[in-house]
Each structure stands twice: as C-alpha cells, then as structure tokens.
Structure 1
Amino acid sequence: MVADAGVWLSCFCSGSPMHIRLRRHGGRMLVWCDQTRMADRHPNPSLASPRSASIPPICKGHCPDGSIATAQQIKPMSSSYSEDERILLLEGFLQDLTQIFADQPQESSVEDVLELILAQLRTVVCLARSKHDMDILCSEILAFKMFDDEPLAVLRYLEQHLEENGSSEEALILYSLLYHLGHIWPNAYRKLSEEGYLIKLADAVQTRDYILIHVCVSLMLEICRIEELSISDLGQFSTRFLDALFDEIEETGYDHLEECNHAMIKLLLAVNGQFLRINAAREVVPNPILSLLKARLERCQLFSQNVIFVFNRSDEAGLQIDCIGFMAQIFSCKELGSFFYTNDIKVIVDILLREIVDFPEESDLIRLEYMKVLAMILRCDIYGSDLNRYKCRDIHRTLVGIKNDPLSKTEVNRLAEKILGDCADALVF
C-alpha cells in the first residue's frame, strides 16, 4: 500500500537511474518523475529548470508541513523548490481542478469551462519540468466528461487560442492538450493534418525549450501514424527542418532528454516510412532523409546508435514497420555502408533473430520484412569479413526451422528456403 503522502522509488528507465513518486489522486495513481535529480546531471541545468521565477498567488498548494499556502508564501521558484514542494503544488492544481468540475453549472459551455481551466493551468505550467508532467496535467483535464462528449468544440477552442497567443508557455499548454485530445478522439489528429498543423508544429520545434519540442514532436508523430500523408503534407517536412531535427538528436543524448531524443528518432522513422509508402510503386516525391544521411554520415553517430535502441524496444506494429523499412534502406545503399558500426550490426542481427522467432502468426507480414533485412545483411561483404559470419549457425537453424514449420504461412516458408539457397555461402559453418 502506498501512503497518501506518496513514496519515492528508485528504478532504471532506458538504462538510466530515475526516481519516481507514486501518489493517489481521485482514485487513480499518479507517477511523478524526479526531474531535479535528472537536471543535476545535465551540463546546462537551465534546460531542465522551470520557466519563470515566480507563480501568481492564485496557485494554491500544500507546504511540506501540511499547511495550505499560496505559491508566493513558499520560497522563490527560480531554483529552490524541492521536488516534494513542486509536486505538492501541481497536485494542488489537480485538487482545484476536481472542485472546478464539481462546481460547474449544468448549462456551462465547453468554452467557459476551458477558459477557467486554462487560467488556472497558466499559473502552474512553470512547474512542469518534463513532458511527463504535462501528460499528467492534461490527461486529468481531458478526463472531464464534458470534453469527452464534445471533442470538436475542444479542438476548435484550442485552435483559436493558438492563433491568438504566440508565447512558448501558451504553445506548450495548447499543444499538450491537443496531443491528449487525440488520444480520446483520434479524428483530432486527422483534422490537424488537414488544417496544416504539421508546418506549425515544425516551426514550434525550432526552439530551445525541450519540453515544448518533446510535445510538438510527439504530436507530429501521432499525425504521421493516424493516416497516410499526401504529397503536399510530406512537402511540409523540408530538408531544413529534417536536418535541424538530426542536429537536435545529436545534442540530446543526456539522461533527462533521452525520451525527447527517442521521440525525435521515431518521428524521423515515421516520416521516412511515409515517403517509402508513397514511393512504393514509383518515386513520386524525393525522400530527403536518405539524402541527408549520405551528406551527414560523420554527423549522425548518436542517431545510428539510438535508432537501434528504438528498434530493439519497438513493440508497436507501426513502429516495427518504420524501423525495418529504414534498416532495409540502409543495407541496400552502398553509400551508407559505414552508417552502422560492426558491433551495431551484430546487435541488429540479434534483434532480427529474436523477432523472427517471436512474431505471432498475425504479424507474418512484418516477419517477412525482418527476414528480408536479415538476407540483406548476409549478402553484405562485411558479413563474411568484419562480422566473421556472426551467428551463422543460429541463423541457419532458425531459417531451417521456419522452412519446415507446418504452421507457418507458405510465403514465410518459401522466403526462408530462398534465403537458405541464395545465402548458402554466408551460412557455411
């Protein structure tokens, strides 16, 4: 049982130490991350610090001694709030939120309630130190039944305020709410795509506010996943934007920015997947991602390492398809022969072997793509030289097992047999 006051737990996330706090709110458990400890390890702690030095007195919270106090009665915000105080203030907002919902007259409009909530949210957004914090706040806001019943009204209200307000804090609030609105009403992502929000989000990413970057990249990723983009939509991903995104990936390898880093990689993979699909029959629009990789081969080391990490952890069909499509491009392009280090390719072989065996029957189409990439690696000159026929015995045994498996679909059996024949020299042991 976790006490109502909360408890800090130490754990590892993505191989990095993290401290989390479990708290109850409204019958649900909230998981807060200790961003202070993460910021302490960053060479520029200001990137993870709150955005302003004070909070208006409207924001109420609980002091560590349990008393109620306004934010201005607690020590100045700039760098001295403890993590306990910060979380208590955020939870004070959530408690006020519950009361706001309870006090609303039945005839209240979506716009009236949102206006009241946004006024309150603006007073605490400076306490948010990660996208995770914004996720908690926005998911609690949009849990209100009125918003679930009238999502289009919520969308229009948020869009209108984005047009009227240009500050980064306002963008963080509104884009965070739009991101979560799409979770309860996926059509929100389609409408944002139709209304040209990809280019607006791309502009918002060109900031140094990594929480806003993380939110905007995550929203762009959802838009890319919800439907196939048109040629016009893909044109919004300019070479300049994509090159800047690669630069950001190389600069965000720090522990507390790791999730943002991985979100940017997933976005690049999703955009690349969109280009692959629209050019499947014939090239109708050039794919700038491959051209950029060729041009910046010496400036994408962190991307090449972390894309394998994302590939290894991918458990969604869409992400797996995007990852394997990207791998196929790399291994079929001689100009990118040095994109992955030798040890990286060994890790990729391990992932392919594991997934080819573990995929359920309904994922056979993805399994076929994994097997094709494995065959590409076997045909590479470095497989017999630098890689020294890595895991060739395991690969041979796996392919023979698939070829002879009566439960596998015929096309899977045939591909396994074809790889065994075409790559026989590489699989000698």
Structure 2
Amino acid sequence: MATKLTRTLSRKIERRYSVKAVSQAFGDVEAILRNGTTSATTTDPVQVLESWVSKMDNQFSTSGGFSNPDCPHAFLSLLESPFFSTNLNAIVDYLSSRVEQRVIRRVAWIFHLLVLGAQSLYPNLYDLLVDTVPIVSRLKTYITRAYDLPLKFPALTLLTHLCNQMVLSESDFTLLDDSFIAYLLYAVEKSSYSDEQCNEAASQLLVAIHKQCRLRPSSQDSWDGSPGNTPRPIWSRTSSPTSSDSPLLTPASVGLKQRCTSSSGITPNASVSKIVFNLGREQGNCTAFVANLIFMLNREQEPTAILSLLDLITSIVTTPATFTLFFTNDLKVLVDVVIRELYNLPADADSLRLAYLRLLPSIVLNTQYLKFRHRAAHLASLLRNLTSRESLALVSSEVGKQAIQTARLCEESLAYGPLV
C-alpha cells in the first residue's frame, strides 16, 4: 500500500532493528493497526489516528525517542496496516482537514508524510499538500537548521521525492539556490564518515535537483558567459548523415585545446544544470559527493534512478570546469560499471543502453582516463561486440547508431585497431 517514498525512507537492514522500538512506542495503537478494527473503547478511526499522531509527536519531543530508522518504520506500520486500508475514506477526510491547520512543526511534518504516503490511493492529497502548504520552504528549513536534527533525514528524503516527481513552481524552484546547493555539498563532505544515512540522502537530493533542472520546461540555469566556462559536449552529430544507418561523425581530438574548439565538430551548449555549475565552483567541497555518485550508480537497481545518475555524471564529464572531478579510482569503478552494464542489460533496456553509450566517449576523451587506460582492451572488445552485425540486428536502430558513433569516437584513443 505504501508508496515508494515511504519504502525508501528505511533500509531493510535497519527495519529489522526498528520493529521492537516502534511496537513498544505505540502499544495499544499498534495492536489496532494490526487488527484493522478499532478497540472496544474506541469506535472512531479518527481517534486512533489522533492517538498515533500524538505518540509520534511524543517521540520527536523526548530525548531517547525514535532514531532515523525508527521514524520511517513507524510510518510504514501505519500505511501498510489493515486499519489504514479499512478506514481509508475517513483517514483521507481527516488528513484533508488537518493539513491546512496551523500546528507545531513536528505535527505538521507528520501530516505531510502521511499525505504523501497515502497519495497513491488518493492522488488529490498530494496536490493538496503542494498547493496549500509552503512545503519546499518548510523542508529547506528542516534541512538547514541545526536544532531540527531529527527532521533532517526525513526532510531530505521528502524533498528528493518532490523534485523527482513533479515540476516545482518557479517560486519553489528559486528556493533551491546556489547557497542551498553549496550547503548540501558541504553537508555531504562533512557527514561522509559520521552520518551515512544523511550523507546519502543529501547526495540523492543533489541528484534530484539536477533532474528538476531537466524537468523544467525552459532552463534558466546557465553559466555566466565568462571565457572558458561554457560547457561543451565533446562531439555533435551533423545534420546530414552519410546513410540511413551510419551518421556522419566528427571525432574529437584527445588534446584539450582541440577538444574544446568548434573546429573539431563540437557544438557549444550555453546552458548547464545549477548542480554542475556549483560543482565547478565548489570543487573543494564536492569530493565526497562525486565519489557517492559512483557508489550509488554501482548499487542502484531502479532504472529511473540510474538514468538520473547517468545524466548528472555525463553532464560532469562534458563540462570543462568539471572534467577532472572524478578521482582515478572513481573513474576505474565507473568504467567497470559501464562495461558490466553494457554486457548484461536486458534486451528491452534501450534507454539505459543509450545512456551508457553516450557516457563512454566522454569518459575516454575528456577525463584523465587515457593516463591509466583502465581495461582499455575490454572496452575495445566490448565496442567491437556491440557493433557486430549480429549485435546490431538485435537492437533498435537508435541504439545501433549510438553504438557505432561511440565506437568510432573511442577507437583512436583505445588504439586497438578499427572497432567498426
């Protein structure tokens, strides 16, 4: 019943240790949730829900209350309970009436998460939350205030969900400004060895803000126009292909000066995500974040999340100011991931296959990859395999063209003979 949002608030290994703490905290309310019916003394489901909210608030109020793993498990216990499904209409009416009322911020936060958890069953609740409450502003406050530490991790996760699922209004999007992004980068750097959960949540929010830039109908996030700061892809496809199967390609030179000149067929792009802009500007505070990108990509299984990560990584390695952000070990892992995925992706995963193929030339030609040439022979063999007649017959024409383009761009640098 619960949405993916509430599921991602808690990792499986942590949920095992949260069950006992949550059950003890809610007592008789927990028993009602499991049974799906109200008790003999309580006939109104709203009273049960009020009691649940009160007990949840008490955990925020007292020292020794819920830990970060306990909090999402408590929401899951309610949202996935027989009680919630049995009394859905009454609960929806209750949340609709309460979400607009002025309450203390902890209680407001509890209502917000309940609305988002229930929105898959009643989508209008989601619209109600976003339209009637300054949710982005409130979440930003929870994230940045030092004395709201119990709310920091849930707020990071909820704001990530909002950025991934909808196009924010211009006023809300403006709140995700350079200073907030710099704060998140600093928070990731600071928490890399002390708070793994918030560290990863802040990293995921930065990826989601990048996606939010992409979701917007017209990007207003651009570089300031100063020399050397305009992001440039390493190649472009010309308007007239030589044939229906093979586009006319202009490989970029390996040399930095030639690589960044339009005479090599490079098309300047005047717009860049505000995340990439700040990565270029805050390089001293982004070491942990760029390492996290590779870590998350290596273990992520959700295709949509993988595409978001690949889009940001590709933006980083196609923007001159951020070409060298990835350390050598990170690049080695990234190459390993690309090889593994291109060999093992299912036949119907065209979007992922295209994303990996578009990323690969940027790694080879723009980063410091050619200084250590990690698994270059494997890459050459992989590209030969992907562009063989047998392989091309099994994929769509778009994937086939991209595979040929990637192979031709990389073949000189890999220096293992013609790949196509």
Fold-level match, TM-score > 0.5?
yes
CA distance in 1, matches of 2:56, 2:211: 36
Paired position in structure 2 for 1:269: 207
Mapped pair 1:238 → 2:193: no
| CA deviation after TM superposition for structure 1 residue 345, in Å | 0.9
CA distance in 1, matches of 2:68, 2:282: 29
Paired position in structure 1 for 2:17: 32
Please say if residues 242 and 289 of structure 1, whose CA atoms lie closer than 8 Å, have aligned partners that are also in contact: yes
- The structure carrying a bigger strand percent of its residues is 1
**Structure of higher RCO (CA pairs closer than 8 Å, 6+ residues apart):** 2
Paired position in structure 2 for 1:155: 95
Paired position in structure 1 for 2:402: 415
| Partner AA of 1:159 in structure 2 | V
Pairs within 5 Å for 1:347-386: 347-380=333-366, 382-385=368-371
CA distance in 1, matches of 2:293, 2:91: 35
| CA deviation after TM superposition for structure 1 residue 170, in Å | 3.2
Given the alignment, which residue of 309, 313, 327 partners 2:299? 313
Paired position in structure 1 for 2:136: 198
| Partner AA of 2:104 in structure 1 | N
Given the alignment, which residue of 310, 329, 337 partners 1:324? 310
Q: Structure 1 unaligned runs (5+)?
A: 1-12, 21-29, 35-83
Please say if residues 22 and 73 of structure 2, whose CA atoms lie closer than 8 Å, have aligned partners that are also in contact: no
Q: What is the identity percentage for the equivalent residue pairs of Structure 1 and Structure 2? A: 22
Pairs within 5 Å for 1:6-405: 31-33=16-18, 89-90=24-25, 92=27, 95=30, 97-98=32-33, 101-103=37-39, 108=44, 110=46, 112-125=47-60, 126=62, 127-142=64-79, 143=81, 144-150=84-90, 152-161=92-101, 163-166=102-105, 169-171=106-108, 173-182=110-119, 184-185=121-122, 187-195=124-132, 196-208=134-146, 209-254=148-193, 257-278=195-216, 283-286=219-222, 287-380=273-366, 382-385=368-371, 388-404=372-388, 405=391
| Partner AA of 1:121 in structure 2 | M
Please say if residues 204 and 212 of structure 1, whose CA atoms lie closer than 8 Å, have aligned partners that are also in contact: yes
Q: Judging changes above 3 Å, is the alpha-carbon distance between structure 1 residues 95 and 420 closer, same or farther for their aligned structure 2 residues?
A: closer
Range with greater deviation from structure 2 (241-250 or 264-273) = 241-250
Question: Could you state the TM-score of these two structures normalised by the residue count of structure 1?
Answer: 0.71
Once the two structures are superposed, residues 44-100 of structure 1 have per-residue CA deviations (whole angstroms, 9 ceiling, x without a partner) of xxxxxxxxxxxxxxxxxxxxxxxxxxxxxxxxxxxxxxxx7x566336365454489
Q: Judging changes above 3 Å, is the alpha-carbon distance between structure 1 residues 221 and 190 closer, same or farther for their aligned structure 2 residues?
A: farther
Paired position in structure 1 for 2:243: none
| CA deviation after TM superposition for structure 1 residue 33, in Å | 4.8
CA distance in 1, matches of 2:335, 2:352: 16
Please say if residues 135 and 180 of structure 1, whose CA atoms lie closer than 8 Å, have aligned partners that are also in contact: no
| CA deviation after TM superposition for structure 1 residue 428, in Å | 1.3
Please say if residues 310 and 355 of structure 2, whose CA atoms lie closer than 8 Å, have aligned partners that are also in contact: yes
Please say if residues 163 and 208 of structure 2, whose CA atoms lie closer than 8 Å, have aligned partners that are also in contact: yes
Question: Could you state the TM-score of these two structures normalised by the residue count of structure 2?
Answer: 0.73
| SS of residue paired to 1:103 | coil
| SS of residue paired to 1:424 | helix
Q: Judging changes above 3 Å, is the alpha-carbon distance between structure 1 residues 314 and 186 closer, same or farther for their aligned structure 2 residues?
A: farther
Given the alignment, which residue of 412, 415, 418 partners 1:428? 415
Instruction: Give the paired residue count.
Output: 346
